[in-house]
């Protein structure tokens, strides 16, 4: 795989699923991902390479206290060689993440439809949103996830977990 990819992680349920008044909240926007070609080795030994700085660095999920579950949606796009951030999206950075629209961004950036997508759910029933998350793969290439630290109540769904690490997606791409 000698192709570049762009990864986005959005929360369409911010501020809460009942009141998504700052939706979509952009948790991560990373262009310039590459996944090396593989042979018969497990995908876990072929991590993604970041060929550029993130447009918006990763921010961990942190739903408000006693929020019902938020959907965190990870999308992987094939990145065109002439990719640039559309002018309507230049304001997004580590300090400004609210009111993002992944559909409009993808259309204006010429990304086309996502080639992979997944989601996981996070709710905070403990008044503590201090979680450490890691995604990895098993020896069979099947994605797994590990949650450590003082984590909020976490419910997970989907084929693999994207928790700030794109490595699980590498198992599906390569």
**4-30 per-residue burial string, b: 16 or more CB within 10 A, e: under 16:** bbbbbbbbbbbbbbeeeeebbbbbbbb
> pTM of whole model > 0.85?
no
- For residues 80 and 95, what is the distance between their CA atoms, to the nearest angstrom? 27
- CB half-sphere exposure, 125, CA atoms < 13 A: 8
Task: Tell me if 174 sits within 8 A of 43, measured CB to CB.
Answer: yes
- What is the tens place of the pLDDT at every residue in 113-169? 999 999 999 888 765 544 444 444 333 333 333 333 333 333 333 323 333 334 444
Over 90: is that where the pLDDT of 102 sits?
yes
């Amino acid at each position: 795989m000698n192709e570049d990819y762009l990864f986005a992680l959005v929360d369409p349920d911010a501020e809460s699923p009942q009141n998504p008044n700052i939706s979509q909240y952009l948790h991560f926007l990373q262009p310039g991902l590459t996944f090396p070609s593989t042979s018969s080795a497990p995908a876990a030994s072929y991590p993604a390479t970041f060929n550029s700085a993130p447009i918006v660095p990763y921010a961990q999920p942190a739903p408000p206290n006693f929020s019902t579950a938020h959907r965190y949606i990870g999308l992987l796009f094939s990145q065109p060689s002439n990719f640039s951030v559309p002018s309507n999206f230049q304001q997004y950075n580590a300090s400004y993440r609210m009111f993002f629209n992944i559909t409009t961004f993808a259309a204006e950036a010429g990304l086309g439809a996502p080639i992979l997508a997944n989601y996981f759910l996070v709710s905070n029933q403990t008044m503590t949103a201090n979680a450490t998350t890691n995604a990895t793969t098993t020896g069979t290439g099947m994605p797994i996830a590990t949650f450590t630290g003082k984590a909020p109540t976490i419910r997970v769904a989907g084929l693999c977990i994207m928790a700030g690490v794109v490595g699980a997606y590498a198992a599906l791409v390569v």
